Amino acid sequence: MAICGPKLSLCGLILSVWGIIQLSLMGVFYYIGSVALFEDIPGLETEEEKLHSLDEFYKKAEEGYVQNAYNCWIAACLYIITLAFSGHQFWVNSRSSLRV
């Protein structure tokens, strides 16, 4: 059963592949603690929660890096589901065009 047309399913395939690559790499870079991604770590920018020691700051930063890495990998898995759906739709559309 075709839900999407051939152009939309091809667009979904391309975007899914790109999303999987980008989010997987970002997850790896967050996991290794890339300094370039430091501004996106949650919990370090708030002023009301003062960090009292350097060890506490490092612990909070490490937790933020790992959480962001897991979030990126979860989003990449969701893109895998989108890739499977788009691939199925592309296959269904290509089969129906061969019959006609």
pLDDT in tens, 16-33: 999 999 999 999 999 999
Give the pLDDT confidence score for residue 30 in this predicted structure: 96
pLDDT in tens, 42-77: 877 665 567 678 888 888 889 999 999 999 999 999
Give the pLDDT confidence score for residue 95 in this predicted structure: 82
Q: Is 84 exposed, middle or buried (0-12, 13-18, 19+ CB in 10 A)?
A: exposed
- The pair of three-digit structure tokens given for residue 68, joined into one six-digit string: 């962001």
Confirm whether pTM is higher than 0.85. no
Distances in whole angstroms, Cα of residue 8 to Cα of each of 4, 22, 26: 6, 21, 26
Of 71, 14, 76, whose CA–CA distance to 42 is shortest?
A: 71
